[in-house]
Amino acid sequence: MITETNTAIDRDTAVQNPLGLKRIHHVEFYVGNAKQAEFYYRKAFGFSRAAYSGLETGNRETTSYLLKQNNVNFVLTTPLHPDHPAAEHIKQHGDGVRDIAFQVENADYAFEEAVKRGATAVIEPRDLTDDHGTVRHAAIQTYGDTIHSFISYENGNRASSISRPHVSKGSSNGGSSNGSGNTYTGVFLPGFVEQTVEGEQVGIMIVDHIVGNVELGKMNEWCDFYRDVLGFFRYITFDDKDISTEYSALMSIVMSDGGHNIKFPINEPAESKKGKSQIQEYIDFYRSAGAQHIALLCRDIRITVAKLMENGVEFLTVPDTYYEEMPDRVGPIDEDIESLKKLGILVDRDEEGYLLQIFTKPVEDRPTVFYEILQRKGCKGFGKGNFKALFVSIEEEQRRRGNL
Ligand code: FE2
């Protein structure tokens, strides 16, 4: 029996949005070869290149590409010499997520408040400046070598004279507005120049959630971090009874901001009866905690997945019996089941509606980061009804890798 706990108690007691988070500004990956990774995300995932920073723009340290698709911003960064911290990151982790960056009301305030609440400082508040103006930037540590940047576009607020900014309840996820008081007129962030190479978009709209894998026994610690520092609450808890097969057991708590726009599930491996948890496999190869998957929301998943497949993106598959059992499990849906079966799209339902989802295989040679493509039709869950079928599929992949 699968249970889902929505712990409303934390929500009531949590301070709403204490850091003034507005939205996920971008996700930055450190990669071994940003030029080739950019090509992959553009040709396979339908992103467009929108901005560039590198030797030609006076950046002697790194090359970075900004990739955009609707409200999703990915930055791909590669170091230009071995002493840059990105080089060590890649050596340890392979290609992976370095920074889940937030746009905030006031970066100085967000940083000071986060540190006061127990966060570890990574980058003290500073100006990033170019010909188009200035933004404020700071960063704190989260799980593994991953950081959260704070970016604000308002000038004139410095750490010495911080006052609490106007903070809206929850956060705003939509649009690419820089917020009020914007004095920066560049294409992205200082140091980047506009550089457009159009991709053929596949209908990816926005980041729905980003999952972190943490070490055995560390899940509650990191959930407390998101509660105490960022003011998130426990949205859903899954325990090992919900998510276990013979091998691939895991536990998961979904942390959410008050506005339900930013959701960070935190996974830890659970002791399994036989082999290795898929979370442990990730941690062994990533060599620390880190971001496991990024879920990308789309409007019509059948169109998006058909295009991604045509572009060569590889997905996990489930046996045909999954679709035979589906009508009884999820009840009536708008989509024709044959069309979902053809694409390997999974369906799950909660009290409020249903969702359609599919998972890619890892997008690098280490079995680490992968993507989820999903469409929500009222459902606010994460597809717990699909965990079992999915994990059997993941275990098959683990077995082929010799990692079970
Ligand atoms: Fe997910």
- d(CA 19, ligand 1 centre) in Å: 25
d(C-alpha 375, C-alpha 78), whole Å: 32
Closest C-alpha to 96, from 151, 37, 36, 44: 37
- d(CA 38, ligand 1 centre) in Å: 23
pLDDT at site 282: 97
Q: Among 39-43, 62-66, 167-171, 332-336, which stretch is predicted with the lowest mean pLDDT?
A: 167-171
Asked if residues 82 and 103 have their Cβ atoms less than 8 Å apart, the reply is no
Position 357 in a domain: yes
Position 371 in a domain: yes
- Same domain for 154 and 17: yes
387 confidence band (pLDDT: 50, 70, 90):
confident
- d(CA 387, ligand 1 centre) in Å: 10
Answer whether residue 169 shows pLDDT above 60. Answer: no
Position 97 in a domain: yes
How large is the average pLDDT for residues 28-54? 98
d(C-alpha 352, C-alpha 381), whole Å: 9
Of 219 and 270, the structure prediction assigns the larger pLDDT to 219
- d(CA 164, ligand 1 centre) in Å: 34
- Same domain for 370 and 318: yes
- Same domain for 254 and 344: yes
Residue 368 belongs to a domain with what CATH number? 3.10.180.10
pLDDT at site 259: 84
- Same domain for 174 and 32: yes
Q: Which residues pair with 267 in a beta bridge?
A: 213, 252
- Same domain for 208 and 149: no
- d(CA 382, ligand 1 centre) in Å: 6
Answer whether residue 12 shows pLDDT above 50. Answer: no
**pTM (predicted TM-score):** 0.90
Answer whether residue 278 shows pLDDT above 70. Answer: yes
- Same domain for 363 and 306: yes
- Same domain for 218 and 191: no
Last residue of a domain, one of 177, 197, 217: 197
- Same domain for 209 and 161: no
Last residue of a domain, one of 197, 225, 257: 197
- d(CA 292, ligand 1 centre) in Å: 9
Of 247 and 266, the structure prediction assigns the larger pLDDT to 266
d(C-alpha 400, C-alpha 389), whole Å: 17
- d(CA 84, ligand 1 centre) in Å: 32
Rounded to the nearest angstrom, the gap between the alpha carbon of residue 37 and the centroid of all alpha carbons in its chain is: 17
Position 297 in a domain: yes
- Same domain for 389 and 291: yes
Closest C-alpha to 148, from 28, 282, 279, 294: 28
- Same domain for 189 and 60: yes
44 confidence band (pLDDT: 50, 70, 90):
very high
d(C-alpha 289, C-alpha 145), whole Å: 8
Answer whether residue 2 shows pLDDT above 70. Answer: no
Position 3 in a domain: no
- d(CA 295, ligand 1 centre) in Å: 5
The number of distinct structural domains making up the chain is 2
**Hey, what are 146's tokens?**
């991953």
- d(CA 372, ligand 1 centre) in Å: 6
Position 2 in a domain: no
pLDDT at site 203: 98
pLDDT at site 243: 65
- d(CA 60, ligand 1 centre) in Å: 37
- Same domain for 218 and 192: no
pLDDT at site 273: 65
Between the two ends of the chain, the Cα-to-Cα distance in Å is 25
d(C-alpha 113, C-alpha 108), whole Å: 8
- d(CA 59, ligand 1 centre) in Å: 35
d(C-alpha 383, C-alpha 379), whole Å: 9
CA angle 50, 69, 212 (to 5 degrees): 110
pLDDT tens, 279-312?
Answer: 999 999 999 999 999 999 999 999 999 999 999 9
Last residue of a domain, one of 165, 197, 229: 197
How large is the average pLDDT for residues 138-149? 98
CB atoms within 10 A of CB 2: 12
- Same domain for 188 and 210: no
Structural domain boundaries enclosing 104: 8-197
Q: Which residues pair with 100 in a beta bridge?
A: 27
Mean pLDDT of the residues in the chain: 89
User: Residue 320: is it exposed, middle or buried by C-beta count within 10 angstroms (0-12/13-18/19+)?
Assistant: exposed
Position 1 in a domain: no
pLDDT tens, 182-241?
Answer: 579 999 999 999 999 999 999 999 999 999 999 999 999 999 999 999 999 999 888 767
d(C-alpha 61, C-alpha 141), whole Å: 22
- d(CA 211, ligand 1 centre) in Å: 7
